[in-house]
Amino acid sequence: MQYLYAFLIGGALCAIAQIWIDKTAVTPARILVSYVCLGVVLSGVGAYKPLAEFAGAGATVPLTGFGYALAKGVAKGIQEFGFLGIFTGGLQGTAGGITAAMLFSLLAALIFKAKPENL
């Protein structure tokens, strides 16, 4: 069942973005930004925690989950460091992902060459 929920919720989050793109011609960068911010807001109002418990990776893998990680990080940061946590929490919660993306991107740049799909 866990896999089914992950599939359905994850798929639904992507399908919503697809409708948004096709209907409004919004750029991909805006979708990414909106989804992350939306994730933070939904976490803040307490909606994302139950969703993540229900759908597992279906909720944490889409970029709203990235927002959820930011929100969790900030909440924990405040728990631990008080006011300072507002500044340190968010990125702490997402440090793994961002660092990994930087590392693997750099490695990819070292190894690979760009090749256009059509050519």
Partner 1 sequence: MNRKVFEFQSKPGILSSCAVGGRLEKEGPLGSYFDITETDTTFGMESWEKAETKMVEICSTLALEKAKAAADEIDLVFAGDLMNQCTASSFAFRQTQIPYIGLYGACSTFALSLGLAAMSLETGFAKRTMAVASSHFCSAERQYRFPIEYGNQRTPTSQNTVTGVGAVILGEQQGERIAVTEFLPGRIHDYKIKDVNNMGAAMAPAALYTLKRYFSFSDKKPEDFDLIVTGDLGMEGKNILIELGASHGLILGENYNDCGVMIYDLENQDVHAGGSGCGCSASVFSGYLMDQLRCGNLNDILLVGTGALLSPTTALQKESIPGIAHLVRIQRVK
Partner 2 sequence: MTNQSYEKYSKKKAKKSPLLKNICFAFLVGGLICTLGQAILNCYLALGIDKERAASLLSITLIFLACLFTGFGLFDRLAKHAGAGTLVPITGFANAMCSPSIDNKAEGYVLGVGAKMFVIAGPVIVYGTLTSILLGIVIYVLSLFGIDIIHLIV
The first and second tokens of residue 83, run together, are 């006011």
| Polymer length of the chain | 119
The distance of closest approach from Cβ of residue 69 to partner 1 in the complex, given in angstroms and rounded to an integer, is: 22
Residue from the set 24, 51, 54, 114 that interacts with partner 2 by CB under 8 A: 114
- Residue 97 exposure: Cα atoms within 13 Å on the Cβ side: 16
Which entry of partner 1, partner 2, none binds 53, CB below 5 to 8 A by partner kind? none
Of residues 52 through 111, those in contact with partner 2 by CB under 8 A are: 55-58, 60-63, 65-67, 69-79, 82-83, 85-87, 89-91, 93-94, 96-98, 100-102, 104-109, 111
Q: Distance between CA atoms of 63 and 14, rounded to whole angstroms? A: 10
Place of tokens 């866990």: 2
Q: Is 28 in the site for partner 1 (CB under 8 A)?
A: yes
Distance CA(17)–CA(52), nearest Å, equals 19
* Residue 118 interacts with partner 1 (CB under 8 A): yes or no: yes
- Residue 70 CA: distances (Å) to CA of 36, 41, 98: 9, 10, 11
23 lies in the binding site for partner 1 (CB under 8 A): no
Residues that bind partner 1 (CB under 8 A): 21, 25, 28, 114-116, 118-119
